[in-house]
Amino acid sequence: MTTILSRRTPPSPGDDGAAFGGVSAMFGMVRRSNHATALAGWIVATGAMGLAVQADTIRTAGETPYGGALLAALAPVLVAGTVTVALLVRANRLTSFAQERFYRFIAEIPGDAPELCAPAVLQLQRLTAAVRHRETLTQQALTWAYVAGVGALGWSAAAEAMAFGH
């Protein structure tokens, strides 16, 4: 007795190679963008925790001779962190929308249609394009996260040096 995996008609020749190539490329892009997303999120979260720990330094910086400069140096760090988060949210929304559209398309395919018919391949290409755009956005977010992380580290070092009067 054999197990039937699908009751749909087999795909037409030629469609399967393009579709499977697109899917494998998409998985590679998702893996890379997931790593970038995790690292960018970790950098921004660590920087935010570091600044939260130094909340007292931020609050009292205005009372020191160079406190205004120290507070002004904090602004680019906060902007870089905000840009990172905005890019990550945008990337998530983009792929969530494309994935939802793809699942809706799959649910509406009649049972007797070929699995890899031309409209399905088109939907896979659209999903792949969305994932490619997500990868670009997450790489940009990672770059901004590096800026935010280095900025937070530099700001912390400057605040430490000012606290000890160097």
Give the start-to-end residue ranges of the domains of the chain: 18-163
Instruction: Give the pLDDT confidence score for residue 42 in this predicted structure.
Output: 95
Instruction: Give the pLDDT confidence score for residue 26 in this predicted structure.
Output: 73
Please say whether the beta carbons of 36 and 92 come within 8 A.
Answer: no
Q: Tokens for 45, please give them.
A: 């979260």
Instruction: Give the pLDDT confidence score for residue 127 in this predicted structure.
Output: 82
Instruction: Give the pLDDT confidence score for residue 102 in this predicted structure.
Output: 79
Please say whether the beta carbons of 26 and 134 come within 8 A.
Answer: no
Instruction: Give the pLDDT confidence score for residue 49 in this predicted structure.
Output: 94
Q: How far is CA 145 from CA 46, 81, 100, 122, in A?
A: 10, 6, 28, 34
Name the pTM for this structure: 0.73
Instruction: Give the pLDDT confidence score for residue 2 in this predicted structure.
Output: 43
Residues of the chain with pLDDT under 50: 1-11, 13
Instruction: Give the pLDDT confidence score for residue 4 in this predicted structure.
Output: 43
Helix (H) or strand (E) holding 46, with range, is helix 15-53
Instruction: Give the pLDDT confidence score for residue 86 in this predicted structure.
Output: 97
Instruction: Tell the burial category of 100 from Cβ atoms under 10 Å away from its Cβ (0-12, 13-18, 19+).
Output: exposed
Instruction: Give the pLDDT confidence score for residue 99 in this predicted structure.
Output: 81
